């Protein structure tokens, strides 16, 4: 079992920044994948970004590319999502996700094995 604890959400004005954190504990291994997804009211959960723990390669949704940065701290088993130049359309519940296999593409929700509880991000115009 893997537990994911998210933090860092909140209310921010358009153009502002927030940093989300997700700490993983439990039976983590060296080669896995972590990602961020988001879900706005009335919409499906959508991919935001992911990072491979081994090697650190990253991938982003087009909608956040250039504004969001995903990173990791190996020692803390923590992944971060730095969100800059926030827009009202970024408003959503953001979920951290963990996949046991880092060979997956990591852009679909079904590729992940564990999920965090979600943290609300609200961007006002």
What pLDDT digit, counting tens, does each position of 36-58 carry? 999 999 999 999 999 998 888 99
CB count within 10 Å of CB 32 equals 23
The pLDDT of residue 83 is above 90: yes
Helix (H, G, I), strand (E, B) or coil at 81: strand
Is the model's pLDDT at 98 over the cut of 80?
yes
Calpha distance 28→41 (Å, rounded): 31
Q: With a cut of 80, say whether residue 102 has pLDDT above it.
A: yes
Q: How far apart are CA 101 and CA 57, in angstroms?
A: 14
pLDDT for position 70: 97
Q: In this model, does residue 6 exceed pLDDT 90?
A: yes
């Amino acid at each position: 079992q893997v537990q994911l604890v998210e933090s860092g959400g909140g209310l921010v004005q358009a153009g502002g920044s927030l940093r989300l954190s997700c700490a993983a504990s439990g039976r983590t291994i060296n080669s896995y994948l972590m990602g961020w997804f988001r879900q706005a009211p009335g919409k499906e959960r959508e991919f935001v970004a992911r990072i491979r723990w081994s090697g650190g390669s990253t991938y982003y949704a087009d909608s956040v590319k250039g504004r969001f940065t995903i990173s990791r701290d190996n020692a803390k088993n923590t992944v971060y999502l730095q969100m800059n130049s926030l827009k009202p359309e970024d408003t959503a519940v953001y979920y951290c996700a963990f996949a046991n296999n880092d060979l997956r593409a990591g852009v679909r929700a079904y590729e992940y094995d564990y999920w965090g509880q979600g943290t609300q991000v609200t961007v006002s115009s």
